[in-house]
Amino acid sequence: MLLPLISMATLAGRLRRFGHNSNGSAAVEFAMIAPVFFALIFAIMETGMVFFAGQVLETAVEDGARSVYTCSAAAKVVDFKTPICARTSALMDCAKIDIDVRSYDPGTTINISNPIDAGGNYVSTNFVYEPPACPTSKTVVVRAFYQWPLYVTGLGYNIANISRGTTSSKRLLAATAATGPQ
């Protein structure tokens, strides 16, 4: 079977009509814009969640530091984490929150180490739980850390500070509170 040959005039007329036809242009334009739009929306939502979770952790640590200083905190870190977990359990896995509690004599320099090493890895081996004997005149420093998983980083938006550039990149949420004599 032979296909009919289309004359050049007929072909030019069909191309001209196709170029002027606007049916479906909105769908094509949306398909071009949608990936960027949704990536931006997800990045905004993830950033908002990171900041919100950081604020929740910060508030819980402030209350925990106050309880250590006023001697109402538990003697064991597991019991100390219970009220912190009660405030953060909706957002975080309590078992993954690392706690560091140290007390310093008045006038002593307070050195706080960075738990992220030069290679971008989280190092949690040097955390201790040393609440002061009560009553105290020492300065108490309470720190809590949580590795927040990130999902939008694969789209080019990266707020990770742990394992940056890998598929397991995370954002370390850190909260610090210091209480002491005024």
pTM check: above 0.95: no
Average confidence (pLDDT) over 133-137: 80
State the Cα–Cα distance between residues 76 and 111, nearest whole angstrom: 23
The pLDDT value recorded for residue 24 is 75
Identity of the amino acid at 154: G
pLDDT digits (tens, 9 = 90+) for 55-78: 999 999 998 888 888 777 666 777
Q: Quote the number of domains for the chain.
A: 1
Q: Does residue 4 carry a pLDDT above 70? A: no
Range of the domain at 64: 29-179
Instruction: Please report whether residue 11 resides in a domain.
Output: no
Any domain includes 7: no
**In the structure encoding, which two tokens stand for residue 103, read together?**
């007390």
